[in-house]
């Protein structure tokens, strides 16, 4: 208490006459508090023993912790804590810890953001103590024996036996020795709390066993277990280095399920529903099984016949897509993702489909509830021709896809414009318009666009999927077409429906024969730009990251066989990024500037180069993906479409193009930028490529709110943290256009608008995004609408 006593006497010396009464009051309060503190008892939360509260011990502990946070005013903090403790006769040790954390969190502000790291250290002490108690090792050691952790959780059924059968005891102990507890200091409080509450392994009584660095090492060992023995431990250590230093994050399902006997490792999936009763119900079953295993779902409904279409020649009997959306909505609600969150399903429909208006209204809060699907997310598949008609206020025609197939002999959704302004889709579309035997509805194109924007401002969706640009840049267009995106609009891969061919009995068993479609699988991981770029580790980081992602494909236990086959066929991965606004602030680049646009172009070209190079090196070692021949990778179109040349670039693109042609790439699709809402919090950075909402805000979780500041907030960076809702969105479009050129798939790209935005202004943003060759846009985040975060694609 010396610090506080000295403070009192110094204050008194300035004006003894006026302050003597105040001093006597404070002295009396301190004496009363001290008396009460000597009577306060502490009950140990682990073993129930009761001891006398030792205020000096607590003060010394806090002062030692404060050595890493000399700028924080700990004297006032300690005074307030002791005063709170003096109000009660007994506390549990857990209550004391919570009191310290809550007091620390209350100090978080724009001028004192480091309280979050101080509170994280307090919470770590709690985790260390709980783990030590559960695993029976001295809590002073922080981390207990690693091999014993594996065997203990295996015996309880929390871990699978995969690691102890894949690695010897000596190997496990060697790997356990690389655990670096100091890296726990990198966590903010909200990051550590998120990791602890949702991902660290606990027993069935919710006791903490696993600690943060152990989770990272378990993931590394799991993803690299099947590598060649002579280099396996080196690769595990590299993967641990990458995750432990928060240079990268893995997908939420991988973070949660690696090393465990249940769940799968991929983020989300995309299904194409066949226009048949069997196909619809089979898809619903597949979606339920994937949701149960922790996957988010994207679903293309564009092949389903519209309301009023015929069924087996009976006219006007089809009920359209809405009833099947209702069925999917029920699945999303009733089949959650491993109990962590409710199922998440996005549905996509073509803008020329006759059911487009009822589809757009399905998320609205008013109207007939029998036609509403509030728990689904919607997306619209938009050809260039529609945007052209919107811009010139032309007519638009709606068709029934079933009737188009029957009358025209082809599926309109199977075509796209191979060039901007010219191609097979518009030829087929106008052919349909000019066929008198084909029914259609004709309306102003702008009317559909108005309905899209009304829904976006009220519900945040529909997402926009620019199908022509997506398919023009499809590296595997030689073997398929892309109809829609996923739950978070960053995945664009070949799709096709699974068809049941026949069903028969044999030896008393029912045999079902299906032709599997391309059922897309998203395998995600993301670079923490603020740390990886600042520390100049991209060249070292990306190869281990790509290898880890590629191994997810072989290790994954996907409960839907056609998804497993598609995963093996394309070996698709989605390497992404987060922390873009954080990086701009560190580099002191304003969001609304040509410099930021140029930096996005340069940085993502570098990331693209290292990613392609890493996949090529893997192909040399393990072989190219199965349909590499004929792809844009092999014929070089991937590089020419993006104008990649050694001349004019600091990177040897010509040499890489030739190596790719010779050796192939391991992965048919390589890059995708996901939202990263939860994993960016764990890594202490900003989400995806998004600007921040506010410099200081409260992160709302299910049971609590936690004060959060923008990362690395200080007198230098504060000027570069402009709120998303005050940023001119045209600058965001320019940045994303520069970035999209280097991403072979797509990007979860949000619009942030004020609730006072005019329709013509929002329309202008959509037109600008389309003209800039963006492939997709995600939410329209209005200041008046509540948007549900997508966590399935967090990586």
For residue range 498-514, what is the model confidence (pLDDT) as tens digits?
999 999 999 999 999 99
- Beta strands 248-250; 524-528: pairing state: antiparallel
Identified catalytic residue from 490, 605, 634, 791: 490
pLDDT tens by residue, 53-64: 888 889 899 999
Say if residues 531 and 544 touch (Cβ distance below 8 Å).
no
Angle 99-188-583 from CA coordinates, rounded to 5°: 155
pLDDT tens by residue, 576-599: 999 999 999 999 999 999 999 999
CA distance 87 to 84: 6
Question: Can you read off the two tokens belonging to residue 439?
Answer: 């029914």
pLDDT tier for residue 98 given thresholds of 50, 70 and 90:
very high
Angle 477-478-483 from CA coordinates, rounded to 5°: 35
Instruction: Say what the pLDDT of residue 542 is.
Output: 98
Using alpha carbons, list the distances in angstroms from residue 200 to 183, 214, 524, 736, 769.
Answer: 16, 9, 20, 35, 40
Instruction: Say what the pLDDT of residue 19 is.
Output: 42
CA distance 242 to 542: 9
To the nearest whole percent, how much of the chain has pLDDT over 90? 80
Instruction: Say what the pLDDT of residue 786 is.
Output: 55
CA distance 132 to 73: 31
Instruction: Say what the pLDDT of residue 267 is.
Output: 85
Instruction: Say what the pLDDT of residue 33 is.
Output: 54
Listed range (118-122, 282-286, 358-362, 364-368) with the worst mean pLDDT: 364-368
Instruction: Say what the pLDDT of residue 702 is.
Output: 64
The CATH fold assigned to 522-749 is Anaerobic Ribonucleotide-triphosphate Reductase Large Chain (3.20.70)
Examine the pLDDT at 793 and tell me if it is beyond 70.
no
Instruction: Say what the pLDDT of residue 36 is.
Output: 60
Instruction: Say what the pLDDT of residue 26 is.
Output: 44
Which one has a higher pLDDT value, 793 or 366? 366
**Residue with structure tokens 């009997």?**
317
Give me the chain's average pLDDT, please.
92
| Helix segments in 167-251, DSSP class H | 169-176, 189-198, 212-223, 229-244
CA distance 277 to 163: 43
Average pLDDT of 22-38?
Answer: 51
- Spatial neighbors of 336 by CB under 8 A, at least 6 apart, are 291, 292, 342, 343
pLDDT tens by residue, 138-181: 988 999 999 999 999 999 999 999 999 999 999 999 999 999 99
Say if residues 405 and 303 touch (Cβ distance below 8 Å).
no
Number of H helices, E strands in the chain: 32, 21
Tell whether the torsion through CA atoms of 530, 532, 535 and 536 is positive or negative.
negative
Examine the pLDDT at 15 and tell me if it is beyond 50.
no
Examine the pLDDT at 487 and tell me if it is beyond 90.
yes
Question: Can you read off the two tokens belonging to residue 764?
Answer: 């202008």
CA distance 603 to 536: 12
Instruction: Say what the pLDDT of residue 262 is.
Output: 85
Examine the pLDDT at 327 and tell me if it is beyond 70.
yes
CA distance 410 to 430: 14
Identified catalytic residue from 381, 488, 790, 793: 488
Average pLDDT of 764-771?
Answer: 98
pLDDT tier for residue 791 given thresholds of 50, 70 and 90:
low
Average pLDDT of 19-29?
Answer: 45
- Spatial neighbors of 194 by CB under 8 A, at least 6 apart, are 678, 681, 682, 701
Say if residues 318 and 773 touch (Cβ distance below 8 Å).
no
Identified catalytic residue from 257, 284, 329, 486: 486
Average pLDDT of 387-407?
Answer: 98
Reference 748, options 685, 691, 671, 673; nearest CA is 673
The CATH fold assigned to 268-499 is Anaerobic Ribonucleotide-triphosphate Reductase Large Chain (3.20.70)
To the nearest whole percent, how much of the chain has pLDDT over 70? 92
Using alpha carbons, list the distances in angstroms from residue 496 to 17, 417, 516, 524, 682.
Answer: 87, 19, 8, 22, 36
Reference 659, options 703, 626, 715, 614; nearest CA is 614
pLDDT tier for residue 111 given thresholds of 50, 70 and 90:
very high
Examine the pLDDT at 742 and tell me if it is beyond 90.
yes
Using alpha carbons, list the distances in angstroms from residue 432 to 354, 410, 441.
Answer: 14, 10, 12
Examine the pLDDT at 11 and tell me if it is beyond 70.
no
CA distance 780 to 528: 25
Instruction: Say what the pLDDT of residue 705 is.
Output: 84
pLDDT tens by residue, 509-552: 999 999 999 999 999 999 999 999 999 999 999 999 999 999 99
Residue 490 annotated as catalytic: yes
Where do the CATH 3.20.70.20 domains begin and end in the chain? 268-499, 522-749
Burial (0-12, 13-18, 19+ Cβ within 10 Å), 98: middle
Instruction: Say what the pLDDT of residue 23 is.
Output: 42
Instruction: Say what the pLDDT of residue 794 is.
Output: 64
Instruction: Say what the pLDDT of residue 27 is.
Output: 43
């Amino acid at each position: 208490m010396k610090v506080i006593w000295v403070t009192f006497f110094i204050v008194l010396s300035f004006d003894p006459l006026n302050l003597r009464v105040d001093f006597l009051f404070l002295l009396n309060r301190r004496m009363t508090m001290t008396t009460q503190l000597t009577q306060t008892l502490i009950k140990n939360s682990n073993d129930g023993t009761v001891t006398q509260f030792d205020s000096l011990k607590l003060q010394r502990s806090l002062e030692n912790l404060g050595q890493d946070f000399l700028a924080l005013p700990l004297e006032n903090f300690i005074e307030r804590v002791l005063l709170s403790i003096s109000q009660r006769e007994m506390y549990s040790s857990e209550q004391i810890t919570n009191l310290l954390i809550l007091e620390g969190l209350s100090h978080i502000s724009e001028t004192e953001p480091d309280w979050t790291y101080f509170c994280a250290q307090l919470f770590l002490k709690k985790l260390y103590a709980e783990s030590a108690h559960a695993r029976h090792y001295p809590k002073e050691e922080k981390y207990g024996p690693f091999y014993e952790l594996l065997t203990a959780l295996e015996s309880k059924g929390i871990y699978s036996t995969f690691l102890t059968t894949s690695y010897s005891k000596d190997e496990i102990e060697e790997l356990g020795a690389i655990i670096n507890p100091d890296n726990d200091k990198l966590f903010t409080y909200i990051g550590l709390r998120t990791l602890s509450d949702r991902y660290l392994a606990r027993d069935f009584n919710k006791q903490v066993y696993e600690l943060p660095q152990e989770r990272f090492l378990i993931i590394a060992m799991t993803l690299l277990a099947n590598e060649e023995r002579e280099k396996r431990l080196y690769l595990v250590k590299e993967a641990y280095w990458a995750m432990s230093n928060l240079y990268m994050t893995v997908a939420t399902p991988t973070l949660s399920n690696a090393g465990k006997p249940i769940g799968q490792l991929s983020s989300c999936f995309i299904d194409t529903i066949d226009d048949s009763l069997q196909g619809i119900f089979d898809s619903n079953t597949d979606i339920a099984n994937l949701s149960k295993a922790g996957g988010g779902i994207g679903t293309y409904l564009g092949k389903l016949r519209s309301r009023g279409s015929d069924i087996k020649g009976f006219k006007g009997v089809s009920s359209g897509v809405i009833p099947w959306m209702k069925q999917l909505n029920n699945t999303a609600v009733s089949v959650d993702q491993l109990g962590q969150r409710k199922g998440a399903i996005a549905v996509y429909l073509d803008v020329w489909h006759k059911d487009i208006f009822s589809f757009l209204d399905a998320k609205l809060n008013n109207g007939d509830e029998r036609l509403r699907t509030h728990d689904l997310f919607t997306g619209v598949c938009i050809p260039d021709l529609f945007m052209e008609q919107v811009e010139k206020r032309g007519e638009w025609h709606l068709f029934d896809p079933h009737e188009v197939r029957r009358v025209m002999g082809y599926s309109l959704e199977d075509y796209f414009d191979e060039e901007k302004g010219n191609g097979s889709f518009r030829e087929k579309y106008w052919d349909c318009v000019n066929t008198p035997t084909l029914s259609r509805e004709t309306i102003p194109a702008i009317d559909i666009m108005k309905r899209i924007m009304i829904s976006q401002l009220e519900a945040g969706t529909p997402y926009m999927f620019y199908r022509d640009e997506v398919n023009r840049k499809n590296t595997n267009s030689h073997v398929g077409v892309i109809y829609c995106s996923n739950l978070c609009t960053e995945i664009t891969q070949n799709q096709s429906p699974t068809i049941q061919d026949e069903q028969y009995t044999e030896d008393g068993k029912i045999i079902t024969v299906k032709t599997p479609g391309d059922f897309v699988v998203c395998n995600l991981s993301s670079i923490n730009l603020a740390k990886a770029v600042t520390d100049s580790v991209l060249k070292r980081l990306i190869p281990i990251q790509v290898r880890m992602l590629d191994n997810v494909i072989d290790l994954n236990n996907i409960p839907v066989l056609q998804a497993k086959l598609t995963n093996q066929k394309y070996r698709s991965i989605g390497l992404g990024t987060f922390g873009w606004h954080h990086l701009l602030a560190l580099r002191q680049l304003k969001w609304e500037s040509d410099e930021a646009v140029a930096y996005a172009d340069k940085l993502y070209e570098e990331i693209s180069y290292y990613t392609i190079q890493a996949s090529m090196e893997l192909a040399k070692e393990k072989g190219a993906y199965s349909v590499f021949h004929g792809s844009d990778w092999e014929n070089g179109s991937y590089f020419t479409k993006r104008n990649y040349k050694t001349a004019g670039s600091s990177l040897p693109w010509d040499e890489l193009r030739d190596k790719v042609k010779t050796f192939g790439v391991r992965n048919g699709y390589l890059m995708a930028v996901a939202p990263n809402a939860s994993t960016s919090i764990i890594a202490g950075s900003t989400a995806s490529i998004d600007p921040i909402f506010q410099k200081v805000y409260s992160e709302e979780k299910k049971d609590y709110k936690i004060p959060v500041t923008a990362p690395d907030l200080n007198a230098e960076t504060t000027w570069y943290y402009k709120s998303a809702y005050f940023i001119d969105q045209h600058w965001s479009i320019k940045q994303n256009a520069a970035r999209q050129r280097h991403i072979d798939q797509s990007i979860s790209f949000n619009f942030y608008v004020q609730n006072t935005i005019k329709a013509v202004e929002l329309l202008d943003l959509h037109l600008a995004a389309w003209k800039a060759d963006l492939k997709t846009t995600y939410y329209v985040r209005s200041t008046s609408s509540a948007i549900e975060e997508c966590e399935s694609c967090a990586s």
